[in-house]
Amino acid sequence: MYARIAEVTSTSDMQFRMLMAFVENVLLPRNIEAGQLSGEIFRTSDNSCFVVSRFSSREEADKIMQLMKAEMEELRGNNRIRFLEGERFFHLSRSD
């Protein structure tokens, strides 16, 4: 398991809402179809969030990043995007 976390900050609430509509309706569905395992968005303020994307491997994560390379460059124009990523080291969950 490999995770890539994108911390996103937009210049305004309106810009943020437009970006999130694109991510929710275009970017994540397309990435899931291309092999990404999951995507979750956690809002941290009116104009920022972090996106947790899970992949089967780093190679798969890099493949998906290549699919959205041009879009990422465009999105960075009006937003600050910082990435943190790595392989899962340990996992514990509750089973109900």
- Domain annotation covers residue 93: no
**For residue 2, is pLDDT > 80?**
yes
Residue 47 lies in a domain: yes
Short-list 48, 46, 49, 65, CA closest to 2:
65
pLDDT, position 74: 81
User: Residues 83, 27, 73, 44: is their CA dihedral positive or negative?
Assistant: negative
Share of the chain above pLDDT 90, in %: 83
Domain that holds residue 22: 2-85
91: in domain: no
- Strand, helix or coil for residue 56: coil
Contact 13, 25 (CB under 8 A): no
Look up the CATH number of the domain holding residue 16.
Answer: 3.30.70.100
Q: Give the number of domains in the chain.
A: 1
pLDDT digits (tens, 9 = 90+) for 35-71: 999 999 999 999 999 999 999 999 999 999 998 888 8
